[in-house]
């Protein structure tokens, strides 16, 4: 039971075509089940594509929609994590990553950090999530999801690590040249995620997409990192599935060797966060 086999499905969703994208999900889920995988992870917004602009309301679905239920029903004996535009509470639209298994929705992560820089303008399209959490994926494994730019906030990774996560999944939509010509998305993702996986003893699955949508050219390069920061599987620039297998004992040993989670000292962090928040608030008030 301590073994966990994970598949990262690097695909090219068809923009705005939910039915075709559901079929792609179902096909890869069946393939992952034949490989006795425990988890399959798809990219961010894998049901809809990324460059949606004014089409966002048209592709939004509730968690009990036919599309979500079809993927949930297909996920018998396997946890599937996929991305969608969720029609949520109070008619709000979210960039959501959803985990399903055995016909049920297990967990939903609504993207917290919506980028509005470079060529990215997600804050105009979606409502930000408000919570971060972890969920049981398979005894003794405990998982969490951060969607793309969420992972660029180190505080969120710290929270999910001390909150119990023993595997992290990061669905992304990363395209070349979205920020600055001096900024290498592939190099930056590798550096940042290798650091997280090493310092927290945290196996991490980063799943990007491929293909082109308008001015966005998605570079793929999905990677699976082990609990010592090592790359155990890596995709190229085309449609591809990569697989890795982890043993829970390896996570235990990594966290004994480098006890970042054990020594996290949440009381100190909480106290200093409150102090700094009050201090910054006073400085802003004084400036006004």
- Name the β-bridge partners of 240: 10
Phi, psi of 177 (to 5 degrees): 70, 20
pLDDT for residue 196: 98
Digit-coded pLDDT (tens) for 144-186: 999 999 999 999 999 999 999 999 999 999 998 777 767 788 9
pLDDT for residue 286: 61
Cα dihedral 92, 69, 65, 85, rounded to 10, equals 40
The structure's pTM equals: 0.94
Digit-coded pLDDT (tens) for 224-250: 999 999 999 999 999 999 999 999 999
Q: Are 61 and 84 in contact (CB under 8 A)?
A: yes
Report in angstroms the alpha-carbon separations of 123 from 78, 100, 195, 245.
33, 26, 28, 36
Digit-coded pLDDT (tens) for 70-103: 999 999 999 999 999 999 999 999 999 999 999 9
Place of tokens 């996929």: 82
* Domains of the chain, first to last: 3-287 (3.60.110.10)
Nearest Cα to Cα of residue 84 among 56, 50, 45, 55: 45
């Amino acid at each position: 039971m301590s073994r966990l086999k994970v598949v990262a499905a690097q695909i090219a969703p068809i923009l705005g075509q939910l039915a075709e994208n559901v079929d792609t999900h179902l096909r890869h889920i069946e393939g992952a089940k034949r490989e006795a995988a425990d988890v399959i992870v798809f990219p961010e917004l894998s049901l809809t594509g990324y460059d949606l602009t004014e089409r966002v309301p048209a592709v939004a679905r509730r968690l009990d929609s036919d599309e979500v239920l079809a993927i949930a029903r297909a996920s018998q004996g396997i946890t599937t994590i996929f991305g969608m535009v969720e029609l949520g509470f109070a008619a709000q639209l979210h960039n959501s990553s959803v985990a399903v298994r055995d016909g049920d929705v297990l967990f939903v992560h609504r993207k917290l950090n919506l980028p509005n820089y470079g060529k990215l303008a997600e804050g105009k399209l979606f409502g930000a999530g408000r919570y971060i959490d972890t969920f049981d994926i398979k005894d003794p494994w405990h998982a969490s999801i951060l969607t793309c730019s969420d992972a660029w906030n180190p505080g969120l990774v710290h929270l999910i690590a001390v909150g119990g996560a023993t595997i992290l999944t990061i669905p992304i939509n990363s395209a070349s040249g979205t920020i600055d010509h001096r900024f290498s998305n592939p190099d930056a993702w590798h550096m940042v995620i290798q650091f997280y996986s090493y310092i927290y003893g945290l196996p991490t699955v980063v799943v990007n997409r491929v293909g082109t949508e308008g001015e966005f050219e998605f570079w793929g390069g999905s990677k699976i990192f082990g609990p010592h920061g090592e790359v155990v599987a890596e995709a190229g620039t085309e449609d591809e599935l990569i697989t890795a297998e982890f043993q829970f004992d390896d996570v235990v040993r990594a966290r004994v060797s480098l006890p970042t989670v054990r020594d996290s000292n949440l009381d100190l962090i909480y106290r200093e966060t409150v102090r700094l928040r009050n201090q910054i608030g006073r400085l802003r008030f004084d400036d006004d």
